[in-house]
């Protein structure tokens, strides 16, 4: 029984030391947790489309857009490229739920690396603010056009009144 107690104590000590080591060092799990907590959708993949690493956000965006899990990044990239629209600020993708993303795809690593990274950044708030600002600018432009027209009418009215006053004055002086 003493040997059993000693082995149990030794196992608990090893378990505690292992837990301390994991808590103090960067592990593959901690890197995955950090990537999953990013506000950006990230997918690293090989040129053939095989996904090497993806975070929860990218998976959620893929399911929201295609209705399927992200299994082939090249296929997903082709889908979002077809469904996106080009603006002066870049390429944007709008989901049915109203979320708007801008995306980029680039090679990562050195020249011999076979990896690419697809990232999607949520720009929903900026997109809505831009649309609101554009609507307000159109309203201001319309009001400006109306004010310019109103100013011209005032000038025409004042000119006509001055001509009429001059005619009345000449008529009164002559006779």
Largest pairwise CA distance in the chain:
139
For residues 123 and 49, the answer to whether their CB atoms sit within 8 Å is no
- In Å, what is the CA distance from 134 to each residue of 13, 137, 138? 65, 5, 6
Start-to-end Cα distance in the chain: 139
pTM for the model stands at 0.66
Higher pLDDT, 175 or 123: 123
Judged by average pLDDT, the poorest of 8-17, 62-71, 91-100, 153-162 is: 8-17
Predicted pLDDT of residue 145: 94
- In Å, what is the CA distance from 52 to each residue of 31, 32, 42, 49, 159? 14, 12, 11, 9, 77
The whole-number average pLDDT for the span 113-142 is 92
Whether residue 152 is predicted with pLDDT greater than 80 in this model: the reply is: yes
3-class DSSP state for residue 26?
Answer: coil
Phi, psi at residue 107, to the nearest 5°? -75, 145
User: Tell me: the pLDDT tens digits for 2-58?
Assistant: 667 777 777 777 777 766 655 566 777 778 888 888 889 999 999 999 999 999 999
């Amino acid at each position: 029984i003493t040997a059993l107690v000693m082995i149990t104590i030794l196992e608990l000590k090893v378990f505690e030391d292992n837990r301390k080591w994991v808590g103090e060092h960067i592990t593959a799990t901690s890197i995955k947790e950090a990537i999953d907590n990013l506000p950006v959708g990230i997918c690293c993949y090989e040129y053939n489309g095989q996904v090497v690493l993806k975070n929860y956000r990218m998976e959620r965006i893929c399911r929201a857009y295609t209705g399927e899990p992200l299994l082939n990044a090249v296929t997903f990239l082709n889908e979002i490229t077809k469904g996106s629209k080009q603006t002066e600020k870049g390429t944007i993708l709008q989901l049915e739920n109203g979320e708007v993303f801008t995306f980029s795809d680039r090679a990562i690593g050195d020249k011999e690396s076979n990896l690419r990274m697809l990232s999607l950044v949520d720009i929903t708030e900026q997109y809505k603010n831009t649309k609101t600002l554009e609507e307000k600018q159109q309203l201001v432009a319309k009001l400006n056009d109306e004010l310019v027209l109103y100013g011209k009418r005032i000038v025409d009215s004042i000119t006509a009144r001055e001509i009429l006053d001059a005619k009345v004055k000449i008529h009164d002086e002559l006779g």
